[in-house]
Amino acid sequence: MAGGTATAGGTATAGGTATAGGTATAGGTATAGGTATGGGSAGTLCPGSSTVCTGCCVGPLCLSAMSQNNGACGVGGAACAPCAGAGTCVNGQCTTVTTCTPNSCPSGCCQGNLCVPFGAQNATQCGSAGLACTVCPTNNSCTAGSCTMTAACDFLSCPGCCANGSCQMTGSQTPLSCGNNGSTCTACAPGATCTTGVCSGGSACGPTTCNGCCSNGSCTASTSTSATACGHSGNSCVACGPGQVCSTGVCVPMPNPNCILIAPNDIDFGTVQTGCRSAVTAITLRNICTFQVSLSALGVSGAGFTTSGLTTPVTIPANSSASFNLTFAPTAVGRVDSILVVGATHSSSTFAYQTPVSGSGGTTGLNQDRFTIPTKTDVVLIVDNSCSMSDKQMALGANANAFLAYAFSANVDFNLGVTTTDMDDVTHQGRFQGLQATRVLKSTTPNLLQAFNARVNVGTNGSPSELMFAPAVASVSTALLTTTNANFLRGDAALSVLAYTDAVEQSPAATSEYVRQLLAVKGQRRRNQFSFSFVGPTLASPPSTCSYDGTAPDPRQREMIASTGGTTSEICGVGTTQAWRTEATRVGQAVFGARAVWFLTGRPASGTASGVTVFQNGVPVPELGGNGRNWSYDPTRNAVVFEARALPAPGQSVGFDYSVSCMPTGGGTDGGVAPGCGPLTCSGCCDSGGQCLGGNSTSACGVLGNACQACTLFCSMGACL
């Protein structure tokens, strides 16, 4: 009917709306199992939210079309609903179309087997008549399936904020309409002022007026180190737990003296059934000083935690390590927070090194991992400054808009520092380049694209020895974070490292050592807030128009990526403008928070995807959708890996439910708590003497209690590369 509305299975045409299984054509919206073709739908507010939602709502949370699945689908701010029968969620619409053709997608374009209707298209997916979607040229937008020149207000064209498609410059803004870098103009809090597009001050304590935490209406600054009132972004203040201090609004492990590195640190055993115990966690104590350190004591306060495998006193030589095992066997239901303490003597003094340890006792072994993706990201960009990189630096700078596009579309608050692969020049060595006042680029930096372009063109007079791991570690060291790289690292932000190079890794220490040091920045229980990615040499041989420095693919780069959940892209691809723009956007998406790899706290008893239930914003995500895979379980890395179609975004939550095995307590060779080393007792590998090792070293590599193996090249997450 012409514009009518059909419910309970009816059919609406010429722009109508169909619900409960109906079919909508020519621009309508279909929910709960119907088939929709044509354009999209205007958005509305989700309940309790002030943000317009063009996807569908789960309570106050808005799921964009990219984040939806067959169990939660919708557009226009409607409540998310499952698709009926064989229906598949495509761009927010339940459809029974299984093949994208000109007949099935007359008012859209085909992205593989998916129909992208006009209303869901953008400059990277544009087309009509069921033809393949194309990418529009620079400064074009997609309108009704056609690429057209645009003067749209966005971060590419507007240094101020956007209101109804018009740019409001920062000099003419008011507290009622404030913002910069093409963001949507927003109102500041009562009493606040707007200066260069940033709200400041105001009377109420909340996200727009307080960068710290709120208590009884008062703001505690994020620079506060009070462990009894810690928080950020205008949230309520909380008290930190044992062995923790407040750093930039986040409870983190208490800083230790400078010689012993505990890895992993900040350990969470998850939920273990009472009467059972956890798998063995191998702990490494590495002496990073140039003199020996004597360990005098080792212990954990709190019920249920047991150490074994290391007898004190013991001496650790310089640049060497010692290992022991840690297990958790809860005696009662509930959470146990404790501290692992290592007593050490060096420099004519006695020190207590410590790190938080926690676990929960449960009536079953059901683990429920829950993570919220930060809307803040701190990025270390390492640019190769050797003699072969001039054209590649220019390509990175010229495509700043593509690399940064996702950060702005997802409203990511980022810090970005640029350093180089040169560890010989004392003005580099992990130090961020640029003037001190503007050394850290931010999402609010004026003329950001020009500043980024200038910053990444670091020159080509650097050392011929290109190092990526060593400058990454140096850039986030205490020595630089309190001097050259000050005001960069934030406790409530994710940390991403991106190396941009045509060389293989040449840092001197083992890759696993750099992995341990970098993961320690955020701590083991927040390891999903760190990633290391590469735009580097990935092919067995480069194209004739390009060259590598070293033999590729580089197993050390692959090991770092696998261990941290990063991504990779081919450096020789930057010479093809359109292809590199697409890759720059994809890499930027991974760097600025759209994480694909999520490491689990415990190991599922099943060892397969069938034993894991995955959630996004509380909504179950099936492993397989109607048009392909949403996620998979990687047993080698003990991680859930999302496909591009189901990537969670900053600000969203992800969850993983799974049961762990009940491992018996009592007896055996494992310090009186395990019946020998094997699959039931060891998450790493077993050496010839029956001891459980971490399983991540080249000489002892393995997982799940299998025999340790010596690797020819490198070991990553228990697998030889």
- State the SS3 of 51-102: CEECCEEECCEEECHHHCECCEECCCCEECECCCCCCEEECCEEECCCCCCC
Instruction: Give the whole-angstrom CA distance, residue 549 versus residue 450.
Output: 29
CB 151 within 8 A of CB 130: no
Which H, E and C letters describe 422-446, residue by residue? CCCCCCCCCCCCCCHHHCCEECCCC
Query: Does residue 356 sit in the same domain as residue 439?
Result: no
CB 499 within 8 A of CB 535: yes
List the end-to-end C-alpha distance of the chain, in Å, as a whole number.
62
Query: Does residue 387 sit in the same domain as residue 416?
Result: yes
Tell me what pLDDT residue 35 has: 38
Tell me what pLDDT residue 99 has: 62
**Residues across the chain:** 721
Is 463 inside any structural domain? yes
Query: Does residue 405 sit in the same domain as residue 348?
Result: no
Tell me what pLDDT residue 595 has: 93
> Is 0.75 topped by the overall pTM?
no
As beta bridge partners, residue 149 has 140
Query: Does residue 573 sit in the same domain as residue 619?
Result: no
CB 714 within 8 A of CB 698: yes
CB 516 within 8 A of CB 284: yes
Tell me what pLDDT residue 621 has: 92
Query: Does residue 558 sit in the same domain as residue 411?
Result: yes
DSSP string, 673-717: SSSSSSTTTBSSEE-TTS-EE-SEETTEE-STTEEPB--SS-EET
Q: Nearest 10 degrees: CA dihedral of 311, 313, 318, 323?
A: 20
> What are the two backbone dihedrals, phi and then psi, of residue 350, each rounded to the nearest 5 degrees?
-110, 135
**Matching residue, tokens 């900053």:** 650
Instruction: Give the whole-angstrom CA distance, residue 717 versus residue 638.
Output: 9
Q: Map residue 418 onto helix, strand or coil.
A: strand
Query: Does residue 310 sit in the same domain as residue 455?
Result: no
- pLDDT digits over 375-426, tens only? 999 999 999 999 999 999 999 998 898 899 899 888 899 999 999 999 999 9
Range of the domain at 349: 260-362
Query: Does residue 384 sit in the same domain as residue 526?
Result: yes
Tell me what pLDDT residue 27 has: 39
With a cut of 50, list the residues of the chain below it in pLDDT: 1-41, 97-98, 667-675
Instruction: Give the whole-angstrom CA distance, residue 201 versus residue 203.
Output: 7
Is 588 inside any structural domain? yes
- pLDDT digits over 666-694, tens only? 533 333 333 456 655 566 777 776 777 77
DSSP string, 191-206: TEEEETTEEEE-SS-S
Q: Map residue 401 onto helix, strand or coil.
A: helix
Instruction: Give the whole-angstrom CA distance, residue 576 versus residue 182.
Output: 28
- Given 546, 570, 595, which residue is the final one in a domain? 595
Which secondary-structure segment (H or E) carries 388?
A: none
Percent of the chain residues past pLDDT 70, beyond the cut? 82
Is 52 inside any structural domain? yes
Is 120 inside any structural domain? no
Is 253 inside any structural domain? no
Query: Does residue 589 sit in the same domain as residue 608?
Result: no
Query: Does residue 457 sit in the same domain as residue 583?
Result: yes
Query: Does residue 272 sit in the same domain as residue 307?
Result: yes
Instruction: Give the whole-angstrom CA distance, residue 179 versus residue 169.
Output: 9
Query: Does residue 647 sit in the same domain as residue 709?
Result: no
Is 235 inside any structural domain? no
CATH code, 349: 2.60.40.10
